[in-house]
Amino acid sequence: MQSFTSPRSGTLTYTRTGQGDPLVCVPGGPLLSADYLGDLGGLTRHAELILFNPPGSLPGDDTDAAALRCDLVVEDLEALRQHLGLDRVALLGHSAGANIVLRYAERHGEHVERLLLVAPSTRSVGLDISDAARSAVARSRAGEPWYDTAATALARIQAGAATEDDWNEIAPFSHGRWDDAAAEYEVAMNTARNPRAAAAFGAEGAFDPPATRQALRALVTPVTIVAGSVDVSLPLPVAQEFVDLFPQATLEVQVGAGHFPWVDDRHAFLDIAVKALARR
């Protein structure tokens, strides 16, 4: 693990791994450590992954909550770019991390070489996802042995009557396959979560969808959005709406994948990611 200094947040950390052109990776959570990204399905054989740990993401990090807002973390990412000495940077954002990446592109588009958005959150661009759209994706899993329990929990959540257990019961909907390995991965993710940081990330002022969308319409760099075909967090019609926000974007659908496509099928994800990084 290496460190750099952000004028805004002080000392922050990142990890470099792999070989090839640099790809700065911003984790989701929001504000999880980038450890859960691993080698992104073997992408380290094709790119040097620079795994950014945002403020608030590491154990013992007591950064003030007011400093963890998405739009503020953007400047920490810019400090990392300057530290790396990159004039233009290729960025990967997963889930909530895509919000940081997109607000970065809004403010610092001249330094963006390309974007790879994996199962991106839509909050920064203001795309709404209806309960009906999520439920339609969920119903595609009706043949799974866990489906009835998960679907009942999802219905309670959508009705505003969720129990604490319901959030655990819907976990299979985040994965293309639900087995012991996926369950273990889910436990590790939940253990790493920082509810204080997650709440602060989306505080008032974090997002300005009209400004972000206007900036993205002028972003003349290659953009790839990777969507899992069974990801309830990003139904494919919404993923297509996302693509339509950019002048030069491609939607890549990983069939059978959920919210963590490199975990569900590393080979399929690797094929998509390598093609995206080579796109001109």
With CA atoms as reference, report the closest residue to 91 among 122, 83, 231, 103: 103
Integer Cα distance of 116 and 56 in angstroms: 23
pLDDT per residue of the chain (280 residues) written in tens, 0 to 9? 999 999 999 999 999 999 999 999 999 999 999 999 999 999 999 999 999 999 988 887 778 888 999 999 999 999 999 999 999 999 999 999 999 999 999 999 999 999 999 999 999 999 999 999 999 999 999 999 999 999 999 999 999 998 989 999 999 999 999 999 999 999 998 888 888 888 999 999 999 999 999 999 999 999 999 999 999 999 999 999 999 999 999 999 999 999 999 999 999 999 999 999 998 7
For 21, the enclosing helix (H) or strand (E) is strand 21-26
Query: Which domains, and CATH codes, for the chain?
Result: 2-126+195-278 (3.40.50.1820)
- Quick check: 91 and 101 in contact, CB under 8 A? yes
Residue with tokens 């206007």: 214
CA-based R_g, the chain, Å = 18
- Quick check: 23 and 114 in contact, CB under 8 A? no
- Quick check: 271 and 255 in contact, CB under 8 A? no
With CA atoms as reference, report the closest residue to 134 among 32, 239, 213: 239
Integer Cα distance of 267 and 254 in angstroms: 11
For 228, the enclosing helix (H) or strand (E) is strand 223-228
